[in-house]
Amino acid sequence: MAGIWYRAGAVSVTSGSKKVTGFGSQWKTTTYKPDKGHTFWGPDSKAYEIDYVESDTVLYLVTVYAGVTAASQAYGIDITRTSTIPAFSRELSAQLAYAQAQYDSWQQVLTGTGSVTLTAPDGQQIQVPALSAFQPTSASLKALQALTPVKDKIAVFNGPTGAELITLTAFMRTLLDDASLTDTQKTLKLPTAGGFSFRNKIINGAMVVAQRGSYGTSGTYATGYTVDRWVLDSAGTAVTWDTAISTSLGEPQAFLRIVGALGNTGSSLWHRIEAANCGGLWGKQVTLSFRLHGNTPSLRVTPVLHCPNSRDNFSDLTFIQAGPSFSTPSNATWGGTVSFTFNALPVNVMNGLSVAFSIDGLNSPSAIVAISEVQLEVGEVATPFEYRPYQTELALCQRYYIGQVTIYASNNDNVWCASRFPEVANMRALPTVTTGAVYNGASGVTIMSDRTWSFTDLQQVGSFYLNIAGKPNLPPIGGWIGVTVSSFSAEL
């Protein structure tokens, strides 16, 4: 029968050494382990006391091995005393002592202060803070601890030693839920592209510059300008327009108001953006926003984008995209803002861009639609309308149109008199001159083509020269003649 000593594997011993090396042994991991005080019977058939077991294959004796050096020899370890009452007593006593030390340490963790030393089962010691170290000691932290959590409330300090709960609003929750910078910009209505200033590609989007006058009638199957930069046309019968002021928003707000007529089958309000102002639009999404008011639910306004097929030639357009049809309910307040983001613009937007509002429902004199704060900007967010100073907006408009001026010149040759006219803003092309009243026999005015700067140079403001036609000998040489110029127009 097999014995109960441990004999697995073989050992190598060295004369005069306490170290014993095992081969095929499991001194540390076997069920009944060799341990301190057990008897080791060596290859020399003598008994030695085990000091400690280092691993499955290394142990050390209390005394040096007295036999000859030998390798791969049989051996035996008497482990029968493992289960004796004295051995059990020693093991139990050691375990209880370890447990008591742990209890004492954890009592210090729970009730003590500062750091507490804990001993791990492998003998390693670690320092941990006592529970009291985690408790707030300042008045402000104690104030937070005293608050009772409530749904949709967040804790804030209301002073050096106080705290309170405030409501987490839907807007705050939306802002906290934003997963990216772009989402945050959208929530805060900040531009996602294009910068913060001069982001609006529309000139006179506030409808405040009206050099031609404050009212008029649209053309029928023909276009006609209203306020500066805005063209109106109609099908069926013409409609009328004027500039209106509303105070429903808390302060005076200008609108372009269009009044319907019997027989009208549709009208369109156009804005033309020249190629020079379309840089950076190719491949970009743009968002159009505007304030809209109407007095009947049947009125519908649809934004539409076109682009010229050649540079600034708005008589030959290609359709890009139409937005949704926005209704104007009769109970709408003046100035309700609507918006739509268009897809990335095609390459021929570099030829210019036409922004149109197709208006249906103006088939009655009582039908009225009003539009203002039109803004076209790069990005996916309709930001608050960009109000530019009036003088800035006027200068932008005068690149395309200048209202009435009066020109005088000295009649030195009794035939032609040249007058230099400085431009407030450089016009985009050689303008068409429309004349009105004449003075002292002047018969008309023509514009000379030899200006002092190039029409393609957008960085300078120059002058052009006017020839005023007079009559020979009237008035005398050295006198003057004059003419009223109704307008200079370089419209698209």
pLDDT in tens, 325-341: 998 755 444 557 899 99
Contacts for 207 with CB less than 8 Å, ≥ 6 apart: 227, 230, 243, 254, 255, 256, 371, 372, 374
What CA–CA distance (Å, rounded) separates 242 from 228? 12
Reduced to 3 states, what is the DSSP secondary structure of residue 93? Answer: helix
b/e map 445-466, b = 16+ CB within 10 Å: bebeeebeeebeeeeeeeebeb
Distances, alpha carbon 473 to alpha carbons 170, 417, 438, 446, in Å: 82, 13, 17, 20
Distances, alpha carbon 38 to alpha carbons 62, 82, 144, 332, in Å: 11, 8, 62, 99
Q: Where are the alpha helices (DSSP H) in 228-317?
A: none
Cα atoms in the 13 Å half-sphere on the side-chain side of 360: 9
DSSP string, 307-374: EESSTT-TTSEEEEEE-PPEE--TTPPTTEEEEEEEPPBPGGGGGEEEEEEEEE---STT-EEEEEEE
Amino acid code (one letter) for 423? E
121 prior amide bond cis, ω within 30: no
Phi first, then psi, for residue 435 (nearest 5°) are -105, 160
What CA–CA distance (Å, rounded) separates 358 from 286? 19
Amino acid code (one letter) for 109? V
DSSP string, 36-75: TT-EEE-TTS-EEEEEEE-SSSEEEESS---S--EEEE--
Given this model, what pLDDT does residue 453 score? 38
Determine which helix (DSSP H) or strand (DSSP E) holds 186, and give its type and residue range: helix 181-187
Beta-ladder partners of 274: 352
Give me the torsion for CA of 216, 220, 224, 226, rounded to 10°: 40
Reduced to 3 states, what is the DSSP secondary structure of residue 388? Answer: coil
What CA–CA distance (Å, rounded) separates 486 from 434? 5
Do 25 and 9 meet the contact criterion of CB atoms below 8 Å apart? yes
Do 254 and 206 meet the contact criterion of CB atoms below 8 Å apart? yes
* pLDDT tens, residue order, the chain (492 aa): 467 889 999 999 999 999 999 999 999 888 778 989 899 999 999 999 999 999 999 999 999 999 999 999 999 999 876 555 666 676 777 778 777 877 887 787 777 777 878 777 666 778 888 777 776 667 777 777 788 888 888 888 888 888 888 888 887 777 777 777 677 767 766 666 555 568 899 999 999 999 999 999 998 877 789 999 999 999 999 999 999 877 665 556 789 999 999 999 999 999 999 999 998 899 999 999 999 988 887 899 999 999 999 999 999 999 999 999 998 755 444 557 899 999 999 999 999 999 999 999 999 999 999 999 999 999 988 988 999 999 999 999 999 998 877 666 655 554 455 555 666 677 888 788 777 666 665 555 565 544 443 434 434 445 555 655 555 444 444 455 566 667 888 898
Contacts for 85 with CB less than 8 Å, ≥ 6 apart: none
Distances, alpha carbon 262 to alpha carbons 215, 299, 362, in Å: 19, 14, 8
> What single DSSP character describes residue 276?
G
Given this model, what pLDDT does residue 469 score? 57
Cα atoms in the 13 Å half-sphere on the side-chain side of 39: 8
Distances, alpha carbon 281 to alpha carbons 187, 290, 343, 346, in Å: 24, 20, 11, 9
